[in-house]
Structure 1
Amino acid sequence: MVFAAPNEALARAEGVLDNDPSPLHASVAHQVIGIWQRDFGDIRLALAHLRRARGFAVRAESPDQEADVLSALGVALIHAGRTRQGLAEMERGVGRGSAHTRARVLFRRAYAQWVLGQHRQALDDVRRAIPAFRQADDVIWTARSLTLRATVHLALGAVDRADADFTAAEALWDTTGQEHDKADAVESRGLAAFRAGDIPVALRLLDEAEERYAKLGTPTFMLNIRRCEVLMAAGLAPEALAEADAAIAVLDGIGGQSTRKAELLLAAARAARRAGDAHTAIARADMAVRLFAGQRRTWWETHARLVLIEARVAAGRSSGRLVADAAAVADRLASFGAPAAPEAALLAGRIALTLGWREDAERHLTVAARSRRSGPPLARMTGWAAQALRARAAGSGRGVLEACRRGLDVLDDHRMTLGASELRARATEQGAELAALAQQASLDSGSPRRLLVWSERWRATALSAPPTRPPADPVLQGSLTAFREIAARAGAARMEGRPISVLDREQRRLEREIRSRTLHMRGDSPGDGGRFDLGRLLDRLGGDVRLAELAVLDGRVQVLLCGQGRVRRFEAGLLAAAEREAEHVQAALRRLAHPGAEGRLPVVEAMGRRLEELLLGPAAAQLGNGPVVVVPPGRLHRVPWALLPSLRDRVLSVSPSASSWLRARETEPPAGGRHVLVRGPGLATGGAEVPELAGRYGGSVVLEHEDARVARVLEELDGAALAHIASHGDFRVDSPLFSSLRMADGPLIVHDFERLDRSPYRIILSCCDTARFASVGADELLGLVTALLPLGTAGVVACSAPVNDAAVVPLMLALHKGLSAGLSLAEALRDARAAMPGDAPHQATGWAFSAFGAA
């Protein structure tokens, strides 16, 4: 019962002890309390109760009960870090009791051996136990044994065998009332899905298991560890680190299992390393190594040593000792049959390369490269990374490019199994090294065309195909509606100066629920349908248009200037310097938005000149006289490109990638030409341009006041030819897909836009911060604009900085005047800027708006 209804079992056991039980019943009651404390509470109390249970079993002269208690005590001792004592107690238990009891002891010993990382021994014991349980027709213990065997298979990388055992166990669990065991089975299936490379299903199953555990009121430390693994693979390492650290705090608070603490420390170390926090990773990994060593858990200790070495290398350390340590870890992991062995070999090879030890590097990289042919996607990626490094060390540029191509193809296939745009974007981080190696090899080859192709290969890939549309999920729809209502109430309370802590907590809870359900979506797109076609791009650019793609290699900006049928390369400044200057410009534009800042105009214009030198360098003089398309890396998304002198008076558009611009250029406008004008609440100007635009566009759909509700706005936006939205914009740095536009009934968020069948062909967002993005993954962007581009929008006008509300109105009216005359968005925006007064607020407002895409 302790694994069917744990808290009820605990209460009943305590009730038995209150009623002067017999020695046998007292032993069972203390055993139940001990198991409950062992798995869900204080390990010290667990040991005390299990020792008392052992004493009562001896007094009851019951060999079966004594053997059962000894095995449970052995598991508790191992979880307390007393491995030698725990194994000794189990050995005593094996020699007592009937065949059925001996099978339970063997099961518990197999579980303990799995905890210790002794997987071969665990398989031997559980294989001996299963026939005895089946012969006794013991469904519960047979199902437990199959679940354990499957879990051990997963640790050894045998995913198919694990899946077969999980399927058989699940069929048995369905015939029982073992609710905690059932939750554990769901959790284990989530781990299996992850090992098979299916992150959305893994997240869904782990969330389902958490809900089951919550109903039982039991802690979920093993679930925390497993979810950390999945979150890291999904590119969500900071979240994994926060979850691991929070679980450690809870475990310490209840005096829980030492073994679980060590595993959580290892998870935290891995997450910190993935998140770029090398010093935290070193601290957590070092603690994990010491705990595992004290617990005599060599398998786990070796994995922790691997993370410790990785973190030290990330912190800038490199030595022959580290090569030897990494090689020793690789050998030991290989002897265990651990899937992480190629990672360790790759690490040893990398360190050897930095030291110039070519022969050692070749030996280790050759071992790591063997994993490229089979296994889950990320394991194959490890192999292709090793192969690319081998080719670079051998001086084979062609070999580098081939390995990078094959490795990124593997990751591409994996990425498209993800339905959520956030996961697709973040997953690209796994391919950043391969993309960088390929770009460097292309640069070394002296071919600007090849460098452009490889710059495009792993840039803004999340925009290459529409995200999977959220399913017709009533729970998700209900959560979105509730979120909108709570957010609107919180906004009103904030404006009135009333407390919002309760509303804020509820809003955050709903955000977590919405995000969780969207991350469960599996991809339904086969891929981007083909690679970047440079010839097609050059044809579309024609003779007048120039496309300047900015690639970053070794921290320096390389400008790839396309046009007139050719690609030329120019070297500009340092990326870090350009980022600093762009931040200064943003601060200056904020000041210019307010009256009285006229004296700052020359300073801001000088900043524009410095930015041009850093970002375009000599390419600025080669732009010709026609339109220019700028394709910046994700880290430069906040640059107000119209401020640069060589771009200020041009027809200028910005695109996340050349491929994205090409798709936008070839997007056909919808039939019918419907115009939609939306005016949200609370604007300082009241969205003053909207009534005048309504008169200009006869027959347009105007949504304002109570008509400007999210559901109605989405309905009208779907498939429109032109949409203009005057509304407060809110960019969420912490959660970019909850960036929003304020409507009458609450925020219209990015998740809402992703429900459109086809977003408007052209859309104008006349509010602050609508062109802000979060830079994630290798070179990806998440925000309002990037949600629209894959859904059929060919062009967007949006703003990257706070602006003067009053100055926005004439800019928008001038912009629409140009559109009415048949100009493109970029042409109309150029003319609108030129028509603005020369004072600081109007000039700053013009610079802050950009045209994205190609409409």
Structure 2
Amino acid sequence: MVFARPKDALARAETVLGNDPTPLHASVAHQVIGLWQRDFGDMRVALRHLRRARDLAADAGSAEREADVLGTLGVALVHAGRTRQGLEAFEQGVDRGTGHTRARVLYRRAYAWWVLGHHREALDDVRRAIPVLRQADDVIWTARALTLRATVHLALGRPERADADFTAAEQLWDTTGQEHDKADVVESRALAAYRAGDIPAALRLFDEAAERYDRLGTPIFMFYIRRCEVLMAAGLAREAVTEADAALGVLDGIGGQSTRKAELLLTAAKAARLADDPHTAIARAAVAVRLFAGQRRSWWEAHARLVLLDARVATGRTSGRLVADAAALAERLAAFGSPAAPEASLLAGRIALALGWTEDAEKHLKVAARSRRVGPPLARMTGWAAQALRAEAAGSGRGVLEACRRGLAVLDDHRMTLGASELRARATAQGAELAALAQRATLVSGGPRRLLVWSERWRATVLSAPPARPPDDPALVQSLTAFREIAARAEEARIDGRPVPALEREQRRLEREVRSRTLHIRGESPGSGRRFDPGRLLERLGDGVRLIEIAVVAGRVQVLLCGEGRVRRFEAGLLADAVTEAEHVQAGLRRLAHPGADGRLPVLEAAGRRLEQLLLGAAVPHLGSGPVVVVPPGRLHRVPWALLPSLRERVLSVSPSASSWLRAQETGPPPGGRHVLVRGPGLASGGAEVPELVDRYGRPTVLEHEGARVPAVLDALDGAALAHIAAHGTFRADSPLFSSLRMADGPLIVHDFERLDRSPYRIILSSCDTGRLANVGADELLGLVTALLPLGTAGVVASSAPVNDAAVVPLMLALHKGLSVGLSLAEALRDARAALPGDATHQATGWAFSAFGAA
């Protein structure tokens, strides 16, 4: 019962002890309480009850009962970090038990061996136990043993064998009422799905297991460790850090298992390292190493040492001692059969390269490179990174590019198994090093055109295909509706000055629910579609149009100027300086959004001149006089390009990549030419431009006041030729896909836009921050604009900074005047800026808006 209905079992055991039981029955009750405390509570209390259960079994004269308790006590002692005492308890249990009881003790010892990282010993014991348990027709313990054997197979990199055992165990569990064990097998299936490369399925199964555990009221720390592993693989390292640290807090609060504390510390260290926080990684990993060593868990200790060593190298440390330590770790991990062994060899090779020890580097990288053809995608990526570094050290540019091409192809296939745009974007971080190596090799010997190809190879790839989604997901729609209602109530309460903590908690819960459902969606299309062709780009640019792609190689801005049938390269400033200057410009725009700051205008213009030098450099005299398309890297997406002197008077558009600009160019308008005007609540101007625009477009669809509700707005937007949305915008840096436009019934978020069959061909977002994007992954952007471009939108006008609502109105009216006479978005925006009054607030408003795409 303790693994079917844990709380009921605990209550029953306490009742038994209160009724003056016999020693035999008291032994069972104490064992049940010990089991409950061992897995869900205080380890010290667990050991006290289990020792009492052992003594009572001896008093009762039952060797079988004593053997059974010794098996439970052995697991508890191992989890408490008392490994030697635990293994002695198992030896005693195996000696005292016979037949069926001995098989149960062997299963428990196999579990302890798995905890300790002794996988071969675990397999030996569980293989001895399974036939006896089957012969005794012990369904529950046979299912447990099969689940454990599957888990060990996963640790040894044998997913096919694991899957067979999980399937057999599930069939047995279906015949029982063991709810906790059933939740455990769902958790194990999640781990198996992850090992097989199916991250969406893993996340879905982990969520299902979490619901089961919650119903049982049992905190399971192995669950958090496993789920954090999948979160890290999905590019959600910061979430993994938060979850691991929270679980550590709970575990410490209840005095839980020492073994799980060490594993959680290791998980937190890995996540911190992936989140570019090496100092936190060092602190967590160092404690984990000490705990694992004290627990005699050498398999785990080796993995913790690898994280510790990698984090130290990330802080800039290099030495011959570190090379030797990494090489020794690689040998230990290989002896354990750990899939992490190539990572240690790669680390040894990197340190050797940094020291200039090319022969040593080649030796270690060669070993690491063996993993490039087998195993899961991320392991093969490790191998291809090692191969690329080998080629670079050997001076083979061709070898570098081939390794990078092959490695990124592996990641392409993996990325497209993910349906959610967020996961696709974050997954690209795994390819950042390969993309950088290729760009570095190309800069040395490849020429500007090839550098353009590699710059495009791993830029804004999330825009290459719309996010996958089920054709109809009522549960997602229901969650979005509930989220919108709660968010609207919370906003209303804030305006009224009423307390909102309860509403905010519910809003966060619903956000998690919406996000979870989208992360569960599996991708449908393999590969990443058509490759970028610079020849096709140059043809589409035509006469007089220039496309500026800004690449960053080794921290330096490289300007790739495309036009007149060729690609030219110019070197500009340092990216770090440009980012700092762009932040100053954003601060200046925020000040000028408020009247009375005219004295700041010259300061802002001077910053624009500095930005131009840092970002365009010697390319400026070669821009010609025609339209310009700017393709910046993700870290520069907030630059107001119209502020730069050489671009101020031009027809100017911005695109996340040259590939996405080409797709926008080749996107045709929908039939029917429907126009949609939306006016949401909360704007200081009241969206005053919307009534003025009605007559300009004949009979447009107008949604305002209570009519501007999200379902009606989405229905009107789907397939429209032109949409203008005047609504308060909110950018969510913490969760960019919850960036929103305020409608009458609550926020219209990015997840809503992703449900459109076809987003509007042209869309104008006339409020603050609607053009802001989050830079994630290798060079990806998430936000309102990037949600629209893959869904059929060819052009967007939006603001990347706070703007003055009143100053927006004349800008928008002038913009639509240009559109109504056939101008493109970029042309109409150029003319609209020129038509604005010359005061600082209006000028800053014009610079804050950009035309994205190509329409």
TM-score, normalised with respect to structure 1 = 0.99
Q: Is the 8 A contact 1:483 1:510 kept in 2?
A: yes
Alignment partners' CA distance in 2, 1:731 and 1:709 = 20
1:385 aligns with 2:371: no
SS at 1:375 equivalent = coil
SS at 1:747 equivalent = strand
What letter is aligned with 1:494?
Answer: R
Question: After superposition, what is the alpha-carbon deviation per residue over 1:191-243, rounded to whole angstroms, capped at 9, x for unaligned?
Answer: 11111111100001011001000000000211100011001111111110010
Aligned pairs for 1:4-19 (under 5 A) are 4-19=4-19
Aligned pairs for 1:456-467 (under 5 A) are 456-467=456-467
Deviation at 1:471, TM superposition (A): 5.1
Alignment partners' CA distance in 2, 1:449 and 1:140 = 64
What letter is aligned with 2:403?
Answer: A
SS at 2:96 equivalent = coil
Match for residue 707 of structure 2?
707
Alignment partners' CA distance in 1, 2:65 and 2:26 = 11
Match for residue 362 of structure 2?
362
SS at 1:585 equivalent = helix
Alignment partners' CA distance in 2, 1:333 and 1:379 = 14
Match for residue 547 of structure 1?
547
Aligned pairs for 1:573-612 (under 5 A) are 573-612=573-612
Match for residue 792 of structure 2?
792
Match for residue 562 of structure 1?
562
Q: Which runs of 5+ in 2 are unaligned?
A: none
Match for residue 848 of structure 1?
848
Match for residue 770 of structure 1?
770
Alignment partners' CA distance in 1, 2:604 and 2:102 = 81
Match for residue 756 of structure 1?
756
Q: Is the 8 A contact 1:470 1:754 kept in 2?
A: no
The count of corresponding residues between Structure 1 and Structure 2 is 855
Choose 484-493 or 462-471, whichever is displaced more.
462-471
Q: Is the 8 A contact 1:470 1:518 kept in 2?
A: no
Alignment partners' CA distance in 2, 1:598 and 1:136 = 88
Match for residue 168 of structure 2?
168
1:402 aligns with 2:402: yes
Question: After superposition, what is the alpha-carbon deviation per residue over 1:807-842, rounded to whole angstroms, capped at 9, x for unaligned?
Answer: 111110110111011010000000000111101111
Alignment partners' CA distance in 2, 1:373 and 1:527 = 18
Alignment partners' CA distance in 2, 1:147 and 1:326 = 34
What letter is aligned with 1:742?
Answer: R
SS at 1:770 equivalent = coil
Deviation at 1:600, TM superposition (A): 1.5
Deviation at 1:498, TM superposition (A): 1.2
Aligned pairs for 1:270-309 (under 5 A) are 270-309=270-309
Q: Is the 8 A contact 1:465 1:527 kept in 2?
A: no
1:621 aligns with 2:621: yes
Deviation at 1:95, TM superposition (A): 1.2
Deviation at 1:543, TM superposition (A): 2.1
Alignment partners' CA distance in 2, 1:602 and 1:612 = 15
Q: Is the 8 A contact 2:416 2:528 kept in 1?
A: no
Match for residue 49 of structure 2?
49
Aligned pairs for 1:623-702 (under 5 A) are 623-702=623-702
Alignment partners' CA distance in 2, 1:360 and 1:144 = 46
SS at 2:723 equivalent = strand
Alignment partners' CA distance in 2, 1:173 and 1:476 = 30
Match for residue 351 of structure 1?
351
Q: Is the 8 A contact 1:470 1:755 kept in 2?
A: no
Match for residue 79 of structure 2?
79
SS at 2:576 equivalent = helix
Alignment partners' CA distance in 1, 2:344 and 2:83 = 27
What letter is aligned with 1:761?
Answer: Y
Question: After superposition, what is the alpha-carbon deviation per residue over 1:384-415, rounded to whole angstroms, capped at 9, x for unaligned?
Answer: 00000010011100000000000000000000
1:231 aligns with 2:262: no
SS at 1:488 equivalent = helix
Match for residue 323 of structure 2?
323
Match for residue 263 of structure 2?
263
Q: Is the 8 A contact 1:460 1:781 kept in 2?
A: yes
Q: Is the 8 A contact 2:412 2:528 kept in 1?
A: no
Aligned-CA RMSD value: 0.7
Deviation at 1:486, TM superposition (A): 0.8
Q: Is the 8 A contact 1:103 1:132 kept in 2?
A: yes
Alignment partners' CA distance in 2, 1:220 and 1:644 = 56
SS at 2:725 equivalent = strand
What letter is aligned with 1:390?
Answer: R
Aligned pairs for 1:148-547 (under 5 A) are 148-470=148-470, 472-547=472-547
Alignment partners' CA distance in 1, 2:266 and 2:497 = 45
Q: Is the 8 A contact 2:352 2:358 kept in 1?
A: yes
Alignment partners' CA distance in 2, 1:370 and 1:229 = 24
What letter is aligned with 1:847?
Answer: W
Match for residue 811 of structure 2?
811
Choose 780-789 or 443-452, whichever is displaced more.
443-452
Alignment partners' CA distance in 2, 1:597 and 1:251 = 54
Choose 593-602 or 40-49, whichever is displaced more.
593-602
Q: Is the 8 A contact 2:413 2:528 kept in 1?
A: no
Alignment partners' CA distance in 2, 1:242 and 1:97 = 44
Identity of aligned residues (%): 82
Q: Is the 8 A contact 2:39 2:220 kept in 1?
A: no
What letter is aligned with 1:523?
Answer: G
Match for residue 742 of structure 1?
742
Alignment partners' CA distance in 2, 1:132 and 1:806 = 81
Aligned pairs for 1:128-143 (under 5 A) are 128-143=128-143
Deviation at 1:446, TM superposition (A): 4.5
Q: In 2 relative to 1, CA 535–753 (structure 1 residues): closer, same or farther, beyond 3 Å?
A: same
What letter is aligned with 1:677?
Answer: L
TM-score, normalised with respect to structure 2 = 0.99
Question: After superposition, what is the alpha-carbon deviation per residue over 1:711-751, rounded to whole angstroms, capped at 9, x for unaligned?
Answer: 00000100000000000000011111000000010000000
SS at 1:552 equivalent = strand
Alignment partners' CA distance in 2, 1:348 and 1:8 = 53
Q: Which runs of 5+ in 1 are unaligned?
A: none
Alignment partners' CA distance in 2, 1:615 and 1:86 = 64
Deviation at 1:525, TM superposition (A): 2.5
